[in-house]
Chains A and B, each alone.
Chain A
């Protein structure tokens, strides 16, 4: 159990367009989901915390108008990168915290975004 999926796994888009990434918990309910970004050879940096039914909480330095997060249900959170630029190219990884088991956090397989 405790599987998290992400879609798409890879996406290439042109500069100025928007891209939506989905994160789903397949076999459990997740009240809280997290979005991380990882540049090559670097650590995972937390971008935002997404709580079902409420507004996301963004980390310092992350533009909330550029990275739109929606957590509409207990199994789905989406990250939309708006007006993408080449510097947004990165590996985006979501994770989900199991409702009622706040210590456990499961990661999705990641989405490789390339902006040309």
Chain B
């Protein structure tokens, strides 16, 4: 079952913050976040496995709620290089398939 991402697109000025959400109707085993630039393969950002987990560093971080049905990706003080499409991928059970959300197109302008 495909996770639901929001928003579909966001435009930021350099230095602004953004939050991208990923939700599922059922509890998940894990959530994976990727960024994809046009014409390239997705690049792995991070994986969250535990309910209530928060991960990442000051600029790019993510959380996984206690029920393991919702994850958010936080982009702080955005840079031009953050532009791209962000996908969350979810796995329902250990060893299961990674299914991607629809993606969020992020554009950072000078």
Contacts and interface: CB of A to CB of B under 8 A. Distances in A.
B84 to A, nearest CB: 13
Most buried by A among B40, B49, B87: B40
B41 to A, nearest CB: 5
Nearest to B98: A105
A44 B87 contact: yes
A19 interface: no
Interface in A94-113: 95, 102-110, 112
A65 to B, nearest CB: 21
Most buried by A among B32, B49, B100: B100
B34 to A, nearest CB: 8
B95 interface: yes
Contact of B30 (A36, A44, A103, A109): A103
Chain A binding surface, main DSSP class: strand
Interface in B59-110: 87, 91, 94-95, 97-103
A91 B92 CA distance: 25
Interface in A20-55: 34, 36, 42-46, 49
A93 interface: yes
Given A43-B87, A43-B103, A34 B41 contact: no
B41 A109 contact: yes
A42 B49 CA distance: 26
Given A43-B87, A43-B103, A107 B42 contact: yes
Contacts of B42: 44, 93, 107
Most buried by A among B40, B41, B49, B101: B41
A87 B88 CA distance: 27
B47 interface: yes
A80 B32 CA distance: 28
Contact of B99 (A46, A102, A104): A46
B41 A93 contact: yes
A93 B98 CA distance: 13
A43 B101 CA distance: 7
A102 B96 CA distance: 9
B95 A102 contact: yes
